[in-house]
Structures are given as C-alpha cells and as structure tokens.
C-alpha cells in the first residue's frame, strides 16, 4: 500500500483542482525552460520534464496525474508556437499532443506500480533495494515515453527509419540519466510543500524525505552539485559550440556519479577529480568528436552514469554491511572478536573437525584477581589491562587461531588442527608473556596474570558446548591449584 500519513483530511473539489492547475502551471514553467535552454538536443528537453513528472507522482501519487496531463498539453502547445511555421495548421498536431500527454502520465503511473511492489509504497533512498527499484522505475518509464516519441518521429518523417534505433536509444538513455539527476532535487522541494492532505497517496515516506534530504544531507549536496553543474553547462551551451556542450555536459554527469565514491575522501579530493576530468575533457573534445557520432557519445556517457549509480548503491550496501558486520562481531573495548563471532567460528570448525576427523582444541582464559584491579585502580585501569592482554594473546597466536573476549575478564581461543598438548604449549607462551608485561597507569605499574584451561575435541563430544565445558573444568582446576598456570582436561 502507498505510504499513508498520520492524518489524511478530505480534500475539497476546489482545492483539488487548484492543486491540478498549480501542477499544470509548474509544467508550463518547465516547458519554458526546456524550450529556451536547448543547447543540447534530447538532453534538457527530455531530462527536466521526465524528472519533474517522476517526482510529482512519487510525492503525490495518482493525484498528480491529471495535473501532469494538463501540464504536458500546455507544454506541447507552447513548444508548437516555436516550431510550427505561421502557414502551417497547428491543430494538425493536436492528436499527437494528446497522445504524448496521456502516455507521459500513464508511463509514470505504470513505473510506480513497480515502486509500490518493491518498496512497499515507502521508498527510502538509504536502502540499496529501493535505489535499484528507483532505477528500474526510471528505465521502465523512459522505455514507454521513448517508444511513443520515436514512433511519432517515424510517422512524421518516414525517411528516418534507418535511424530509429539510434534515436530510441539516445532518447531512452537521456531520459534515464536526466530523471535520476533531477528527481532528488524536485522531490526535496515538493516535500516542503505545506499540503499534507495531498501526501496521502505518496510513494515515498515524506517524513523520511524531510529528515534525510535536509540541507546538511550529503545526498542532497551531491544532488545539488549534479543540478548546478547541469544548469551551468546548459547556460554555457548558448555561447559555445553545441557539440562540445553535449560532450561536456554528459561527461561531467558521468564523472559526478563515479566521483561520489571520492566524497569519503573529502571535498578537496572530489574537486580535484572533477576538475582534472573537466580539463582532460576540454583537451580531448575536438578529437573525440571526430571519431564518434553524437548518438554514440550521448548513449555511452549516460550508460556510464547509470552504471555508476548502480555501482555506488551496491558498493555502499557492501560497505554498510561490512561495517555493521564488524560492529556486530567485534568487542568494542579490545578490538578483537566478541563472543558471538567466536561461537559462530568455533561451531563451524567443530563441525569440520568432526566430519573429517581432524584435531581441534580450545583454550579458556581468566585473568587472575581482576576484580581487585578494578576496585583498586578503577575501570580505566581495568580496561587498560584488558586491552594489553588481548594484544598479547593475539601476538602469540597463528593466523588460523581466533581469540575473543568471552566475558568480562574471560577470553577464549580456538586452535584448529592442534592437539591439546600443542595448545597447552601455546597457552604457556601466552601465560608467560602476560606475566612479564606491565601497564603504566597514573604513575603506577600494573601487573596481571591469568589461568588457562585447555581441552581437545573427542569422539564423545556431540556438541561444541560439551567441549567448552571440558575446557571450563580445566580452567577451574588451574584456578583451584593456585592460578597463573595451564591445565589440560584429560581425554
């Protein structure tokens, strides 16, 4: 179901049609911009209207469709004034205007059916699945409108039949790229409209949009960078050669997508990347134009832009998942594995050892008189002891072994492919290193020792818990015998 606001007051017919007229008027404003700023064919003309409609339906749902149809008709008629000769009959194009307007509205509605399905009607741009759904919706939207537009071109001029594929791909890629570039800007603006009664059919959580696309949002800053660059190049296109404006515009858009990765390195690194590419683009523009056609360049660079957005969504997901995985499986104080991570790893090693009849041992460690250290030196002193102990244990272990903080002052080690006797030798090295170490705290020297219990996997161990229990019994025996020693659980 579409996102529902907390309150959805009934909208009167008067306000409803006022709302539609406002949308129509805004569409007319968009038409003025797209007609006057046409330094790059099939770019601004396709981008801004596509993103505008896409954003309207995302924020206002089906309620925006009548306004989009009316606005599209206004825009089409306004464009005809500038392209139809005075001697021609403008009404000849009226069926095409109506067809284009209706199709333009319906294609966005069909695309948003996909958004509802894959985002449950509450689109959130911090979730990779929703980002992919957004890209899918823009692609589906653009396919429909581009197909109609291409057929109209064909009906008007049958001589361009051999160019239909190039024309279709050109307009499709332009629509997709432009929609992705401008949509966030429009949606952010719409979300601040004080018309809550029109948000009850929104396909995006308006509260989420307001909270996450504020002026301090990194995502919004990137979007504004996109938009300002596009507008600047469009304006510059009036005064420079059109072909070079096309290459510059599309190249910058592609670069901005990939440069998004560099945002983590800071604005300086991002600025250097963009500036360097821009200089290279200016130098190579003339030679590039001599090799590739307009269609090839315009189709290539938007494709890179889309690929960049998808890659960023995917790598962002991977990075976030890795970060969350690290937080979930790392002890915050010592930086080593936590109990959850260790149990998971030990369970896998236990099953592998049982299946292939391999050796495996575990070591349980308990710091001696740790409570006394906490009472005398406070938790800060105790934390330093824990951190130093964890570092010492890690330094004495091979890569295959895994040490974790098992409890408050307890540690656990799993040693694959190792008998109890060899594990005891490892434990003895750890014990000696810890006993020799000191920690300076508040002009005092702190020392600590530890007791170790070792157990090896046996045929009688049906579960990991039974092996841990044997190691715990050996640890108890070490503490009972005077601490600061290593004990092995007899087979």
Catalytic residues: 409
SS3 410: strand
Q: How far is CA 226 from CA 220, 230, 258, 431, 436, in A?
A: 10, 6, 12, 59, 60
Residues facing residue 440 across a β-bridge = 445
CA distance 49 to 113: 20
For β-strands 410-416 and 444-446, DSSP reports them as: unpaired
Q: HSE-up of 15 (CA within 13 Å, CB side)?
A: 8
Q: How many CB atoms lie within 10 A of CB 485?
A: 17
**H-helix segments, 330-419:** 339-356, 370-395
Q: Using CA atoms of 27, 32, 38, 40 in order, give the dihedral in degrees to the nearest 10.
A: -30
C-beta separation of 479 from 451 below 8 A: yes
CA distance 7 to 68: 25
CA distance 75 to 62: 20
Give backbone dihedrals phi and psi of 40, rounded to 5 degrees, phi first: -125, 105
Tabulate helix, strand, coil % of the chain (nearest 5). Answer: 70, 10, 20
To which H or E segment does residue 365 belong? strand 360-367
Rg (CA), the chain: 33
Name the token pair of 46: 């396709």
């Amino acid at each position: 179901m579409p996102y529902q606001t907390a309150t959805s007051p009934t909208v009167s017919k008067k306000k409803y049609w006022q709302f539609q007229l406002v949308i129509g008027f805004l569409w007319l404003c968009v038409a003025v911009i797209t007609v006057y700023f046409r330094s790059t064919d099939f770019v601004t003309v396709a981008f801004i209207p596509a993103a505008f409609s896409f954003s309207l339906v995302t924020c206002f749902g089906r309620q925006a469709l009548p306004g989009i149809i009316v606005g599209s008709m206004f825009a089409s008629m306004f464009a005809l004034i500038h392209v139809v000769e005075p001697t021609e009959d403008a009404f000849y194009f009226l069926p095409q205007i109506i067809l284009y307007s209706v199709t333009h509205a319906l294609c966005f509605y069909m695309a948003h059916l996909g958004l509802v399905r894959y985002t449950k009607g509450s689109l959130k741009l911090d979730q990779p699945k929703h980002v992919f759904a957004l890209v899918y919706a823009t692609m589906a939207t653009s396919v429909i409108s581009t197909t109609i537009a291409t057929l109209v071109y064909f009906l008007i001029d049958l001589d361009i039949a051999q160019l239909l594929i190039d024309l279709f791909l050109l307009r499709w890629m332009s629509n997709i790229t432009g929609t992705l570039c401008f949509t966030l800007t429009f949606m952010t603006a719409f979300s601040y409209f004080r018309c809550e009664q029109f948000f009850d059919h929104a396909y995006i959580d308006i509260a989420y949009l307001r909270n996450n696309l504020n002026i301090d949002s990194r995502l919004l800053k990137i979007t504004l960078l996109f938009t300002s660059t596009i507008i600047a190049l469009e304006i510059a296109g009036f005064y420079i050669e059109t072909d070079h404006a096309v290459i510059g515009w599309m190249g910058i858009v592609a670069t901005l997508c990939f440069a998004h990765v560099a945002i983590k390195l800071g604005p300086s690194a991002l600025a250097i990347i963009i500036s360097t590419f821009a200089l290279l683009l200016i130098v190579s523009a003339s030679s590039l134009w001599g090799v590739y056609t307009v269609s090839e360049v315009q189709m290539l660079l938007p494709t890179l832009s889309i690929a960049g957005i998808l890659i960023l969504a995917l790598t962002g997901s991977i990075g976030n998942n890795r970060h969350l995985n690290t937080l979930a499986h790392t002890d915050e104080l010592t930086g080593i594995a936590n109990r959850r991570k260790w149990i998971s790893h030990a369970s896998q090693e236990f099953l592998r050892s049982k299946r292939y009849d391999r050796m495996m041992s575990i070591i349980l460690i308990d710091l001696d008189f740790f409570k006394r250290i906490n009472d005398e030196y406070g938790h800060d002193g105790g934390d330093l002891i824990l951190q130093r102990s964890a570092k010492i244990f890690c330094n004495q272990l091979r890569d295959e072994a895994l040490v974790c903080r098992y409890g408050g002052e307890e540690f656990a080690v799993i040693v694959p492919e190792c008998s109890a006797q060899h594990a005891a030798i490892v434990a003895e090295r750890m014990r000696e290193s810890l006993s020799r170490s000191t920690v300076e705290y508040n002009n005092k020297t702190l020392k600590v020792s530890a007791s170790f219990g070792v157990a090896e996997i046996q045929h009688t161990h049906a579960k990991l818990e039974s092996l841990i229990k044997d190691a715990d019994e050996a640890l108890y025996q070490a503490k009972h015998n005077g601490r600061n020693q290593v004990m092995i659980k007899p087979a």
